[in-house]
Structure 1
């Protein structure tokens, strides 16, 4: 079946970058994909990887809320002979939903966020437009967590829960792991704690710095802040001003999270609002125990068998990190359980097969459709 995924953009930090994982698993699930980006995507590394995997990427070149994007999307959907339209985030629901409805195609929408933050007049109008589009155009809505499903109940059509999947990274190279640990200053006997959330407001790096300051001097811990973002200069400046923080914290501004997760003994994810953070799923895949907040859909990823859920309190985060640093057997048990949970619930092949089943059900339910075998 041919599925057109309509997205607002293809920015590497946005949830739509999970389409790369889906593209890898789609052929085995009987799906062909095309990705339609409303805003410019030509320089996106996500688009480049989709092209490498043989997935066409169409760039509508439209402003975020340009009404002409609908007619452009209709032309693209016709040209690629799409059978299903699947929309992701924001104006993609409006544009993709309207285009799919015009062509009488089933429309699926995935909810990637919980939009509970304060909003001005413009934000409220956009939210109202997205809710109206889901009610009018969308045939099936996918929530990526149970919490999200409960939050959107009544505002979306035929809600089902299906977490996004991640490609199984497989076992890493122990020699590469050790080389990275050496570069990051994790001497023998040191516990490497990684944070890989984007460095922007609400992702918890400020709280993590407070927790590092509260660690006992005896804890053999080095903390690595991976990735990048608008808050990185502020975080670096704070570390530079504090000798105790500077002795424990290393910045690793690589866009590739997997090598750091493979090198880590523990990951910390102290975000204040996250529907279903991909970084934590990648941590499960790498077999890394997590210390994570209880916000959003995080408790649906991290369980007491795979990590420790903590309140957003620096002292409690420091306490749990110190406990795990002192207990390698517990870290090993949690990491093994994390890997098993990933394979059972979040592996991309499983995600693709369940999506294909949803699509097939919608195609078979159309008036006059022949039952697919």
Structure 2
């Protein structure tokens, strides 16, 4: 029997946690489904999709005519029409749900979507999402937030993101990474490295990190490594970015390293003494799983799905509290034993969040939707 074709829609060509989390499970999913990506034909996502062996149809998935044309091209590419369309983000899910609600011209197949954000949506946005046949939340915290705001609970299934530590850390040797990264940065061999990874924006709390950096008193003085880019083009986002890095440079002169997008995050994690994640909200941060797998002690805000993932295997701080963040960084940089305890506990937590488990959970959701659609005669 032929595998059902599932078209997976991506809004942006970026390669952040949501995209990486889907790429991590696609190999397992292809045992059961024929996958095709609908995405902007740009880097870095296009290259990552190609490396994963996923056929691609380039399009703007939030442009209805372009999306419908892309779905027709899927049939030409694979020999069969898509049996299911999956949006890999909340915003794409909303757009698909809105199209599915068009009685005059609904989409030609069932629709599912990932909820990878904790946002206070309008009633209209929540209604659009609720038109999807099923939704996948990356954490119970994410599900509960949206259900409390009106999303139908029966349509939302929690499937945690997964990680394969061996694949993620392939070729990384901790002591070599510690030496080489410090040499690359021009940092002293004994300098502590405090790493932060994430999209540069208000929700990730970069401004909190910048203020906390000025309060850290540890000796030797730590170097701060910033990995990430700003994707929003809004004027306030541009100003936010400029203010953050001006503050970091002022508070840690000569010790701030803006690294932008990196393809060696496993190496940077292995080299770092701490991963600091000051997010104001975090559904289920992939970088936290990666740090846990790398054995990097984690300081993170107690928000969203972070406690769900790590429990007491991280040093938790309140959001929007630079003094608390600085005090925790100081305490851990001065306590190697506590860093080792946190690292070991976090490694154990990753055993709960495997790629196999994540892929199996998503497959159950898709199978359920396809079975219901087949019974209703709605599968092409």
TM tier relative to shorter chain: 0.7 to 0.9
| Residue of structure 2 aligned with 1:166, choices 148, 163, 166 | 163
Say what the alpha-carbon RMSD is for the aligned residues.
2.9
Q: Give the corresponding residue for 1:46.
A: 45
Q: Give the corresponding residue for 2:59.
A: 60
Greater shift after overlay, 146-155 or 176-185? 176-185
How far off is 1:353 after superposition? Answer: 1.9
Contact 2:216 2:330 in 1 (8 A): yes
Contact 1:74 1:103 in 2 (8 A): no
Q: Give the corresponding residue for 1:360.
A: 367
Cα distance between partner residues in 1 of 2:267 and 2:374? 49
Deviation string 1:62-85 (CA, Å, 9 cap, x unpaired) is 6x4x43245324424544432332
Cα distance between partner residues in 2 of 1:107 and 1:275? 22
How far off is 1:297 after superposition? Answer: 2.3
Q: Give the corresponding residue for 1:16.
A: 19
Deviation string 1:117-165 (CA, Å, 9 cap, x unpaired) is 7xxxxxx5xx72x4334333x2221111112211221324521111222
Secondary structure at 2:331 match in 1: helix
How far off is 1:33 after superposition? Answer: 1.4
Cα distance between partner residues in 1 of 2:8 and 2:42? 18
Q: Give the corresponding residue for 2:243.
A: 234
Deviation string 1:302-333 (CA, Å, 9 cap, x unpaired) is 32124434443111111111111111122112
Deviation string 1:16-39 (CA, Å, 9 cap, x unpaired) is 343322234434x533311113xx
Contact 2:177 2:268 in 1 (8 A): no
Change (3 A) 1:180 1:36: same
Secondary structure at 1:181 match in 2: helix
Cα distance between partner residues in 1 of 2:91 and 2:327? 43
Q: Give the corresponding residue for 2:193.
A: 192
Q: Give the corresponding residue for 1:222.
A: 223
Change (3 A) 1:77 1:323: same
Q: Structure 1: any 5+ residue segments left out of the alignment?
A: 118-123
Q: Structure 2: any 5+ residue segments left out of the alignment?
A: 231-237
Cα distance between partner residues in 2 of 1:331 and 1:94? 41
* Aligned: 1:113 with 2:113: no
Task: Give the TM-score, by structure 1 length.
Answer: 0.82
Cα distance between partner residues in 1 of 2:70 and 2:17? 21
| Residue of structure 2 aligned with 1:319, choices 324, 327, 337 | 327
Greater shift after overlay, 9-18 or 272-281? 9-18
Cα distance between partner residues in 1 of 2:208 and 2:296? 21
Task: Give the TM-score, by structure 2 length.
Answer: 0.81
Q: Give the corresponding residue for 2:294.
A: 286
